[in-house]
Structure 1
């Protein structure tokens, strides 16, 4: 099979097409023929080691000190089950599925083995393979942080970076949970963010949300530009700052803020829960959650796709068609 591999950190050109042996599923695994995968911010950071301030050394420990420990990137996929292990009960050959490989990655390949009880779910009928591949990363990340924040219907939520992969998912999910959503994005993306369910949209080129005297129950920062030092005056008493992207210094403030104020910082990596995929599948089937697709590239154009993601201005998700 063909896979996209990298053996050193660096720019998109470190990614190479390589012929590898087709994997064989274990007793409790399924073999998926991959139809689509994505290029997420997680893939970009693992490839480049461009990490938030203070996480450089930790990044090498996580991804590999001398070079990448996992040579195949890719955190999400959609495809068709080609074979199943002898003890698999939930899936059959021919089933259409989507999956989230998360931190273990490995989805930039024509075939991938996945544990039956892992983060893999039957694909909803409505989304295409390309849309199904983009359900997981943004959706599970937003669900994790909203769950930790105990988001309630009627609360006000500001999403900084509302037009990105996590942001576009977060706007839709916050609206689904009954929150009043304000999105922060560039002027080019204001109509998109409104269409996803944001009641208010702030163009960061024209206005800084901390200067409008409005306060929010929840602020989600997906862009890394709204740390607690900036956002605290925009948080209500009892407000929660969700740092999807934050520096090491922000992490150190978490206990101090909880002890010295009525506010809370929620940070750290998102949990990878199979039940979240099931929930997202139900929402997608009902038409209440639809991943935003910015661009689609063929498998052979993976380097070009990474170059586009590197510029930091993608809208929603960038999809790779594999089969």
Structure 2
């Protein structure tokens, strides 16, 4: 089968190669899926380079632990291993597992579920990890409730587009921060107000919020505090910064000073959970959430897709279709 492989860390165009590899075997509790599509996220750039260095304890110290790149998929079941009573050949599924940029992937049954009926395979592939991150940031850490004022930075990105819709589905009034070229997209997702980060500093937004979800941004704690109501909640999702921690060291500083501030600081380390995948399927099938797919690439253009996402040339998510 064809697959995108990575044997060393480096720039995507230099280290990602399309090669023939063996179709994976299906073990007990596993399902073989013919992959229809797999998404590209902003995190993929860092994973290819092996950044932050601290993450290599998980991804592989000297070289990637997984030969085949890619983390999420949507496709069709072609074989079922022993001990999987609720899956059969022909089922359309979506989920997460390493090795998704390939024609076939063998996946533990607990890391997938039925594909939403109202989504194409390309749109379904874009759901799992980005939506987990948004759901856990907004619902679990932000604890967003009906009637609250919520500010979401990075509102036009992979995670932000879900965060806006989930906050609205939970009954909040949402302000999104993004570039002017993507303001129409964020409004179409339900944002009540959109702020252009190039024209307005965070502290000058002019409102106070119950919850600020900062997605891969880097505003100072002082700026965050300036837009939060007393007793409000700041949720860190990712970060930018040095190669060692990629800005997550700001989480530690925020957590250390939080007891001396009049707002709560929470940092998200998202968990891939089957129950959350089912929750997102329910949101999607109800019409409350719609994945945003900005561009579709072929399997031979994964490196290009990663570069386009990093450069901000894609609205919403990029997806690789097989």
**1:91 is matched with which residue?**
87
Residue of structure 1 equivalent to 2:28:
27
Q: Per-residue deviation at 1:180?
A: 0.5
Given candidates 122, 130, 136, the residue that maps to 1:130 is: 122
CA pair 295-280 structure 1, distance change in 2 beyond 3 A: same
2:205 is equivalent to residue 212 of structure 1: yes
The TM-score normalised by the length of structure 1 is: 0.93
List gaps (5 residues or longer) in structure 2: 240-246
| Corresponding residue to 2:230 among 237, 250, 267 | 237
Residue 314 (structure 1) aligns with? 314
Which deviations, in whole Å up to 9, do the C-alpha atoms of 1:83-142 show, x marking residues without a partner? 1012111111100000023xxx2211111111112x211011110000000111221101
* Residues 182, 199 of structure 1: 8 Å contact kept: yes
| CA deviations over 1:34-72 (Å, ceiling 9, x no partner) | 0000111222210023x4xxxx43033232221212222
Q: In structure 2, what is the Cα distance between the partners aligned to 1:80 and 1:255? A: 43
Question: Is the Cα–Cα contact under 8 Å of residues 3 and 17 in structure 1 kept in the other structure?
Answer: yes
The separation in 1 between residues aligned to 2:266 and 2:96, in whole angstroms, is 23
Q: Which residue of 2 aligns with 1:64?
A: 60
Contact 2:129 2:272 (8 Å CA) reproduced: no
Distance 1:263-1:257 versus aligned 2 partners, 3 A rule: farther
Residue 29 of structure 2 corresponds to residue 37 of structure 1: no
Which stretch of structure 1 is more off in the superposition, 146-155 or 186-195?
146-155
Q: Give the alignment's TM-score, normalised by structure 2.
A: 0.93
What secondary structure sits across from 1:131 in the alignment? Answer: helix
For the 8 Å contact 1:140–1:270, the answer to whether it is kept is: yes
Determine the C-alpha separation between the residues in 1 that align with 2:64 and 2:222: 34
Question: Match for residue 305 of structure 2?
Answer: 305
Take 2:305 and 2:172, find their aligned partners in 1: how far apart are those partners?
34
Residue 258 of structure 2 is aligned to residue 262 of structure 1: no
Segment drifting more, 296-305 vs 173-182? 296-305
Contact kept, 8 Å, 1:228 with 1:241, in 2: the verdict is no
Q: Deviating runs (4+, > 3 A) in structure 1?
A: none
For 1:171, the equivalent position in structure 2 comes to 164
Deviation readout 1:279-313 (Å, 9 max, x if unpaired): 11111112211111110001122222122123134
- What's the CA shift string for 1:174-229, capped at 9, x where partnerless? 10000110000111111110010100000112112311331111111113233424
Quick one: distance in 2 between partners of 1:6 and 1:91?
Answer: 31
Q: CA RMSD in A?
A: 1.5
**Counterpart Cα distance in 1 of 2:232 and 2:321:** 41
Distance 1:208 1:129 in 2: 39
- The separation in 2 between residues aligned to 1:160 and 1:321, in whole angstroms, is 29
Structure 1's unaligned 5+ residue stretches are none
Distance 1:112 1:212 in 2: 46
Aligned-partner SS, 1:217 = strand
Aligned pair partner of 1:187 in 180, 184, 195: 180
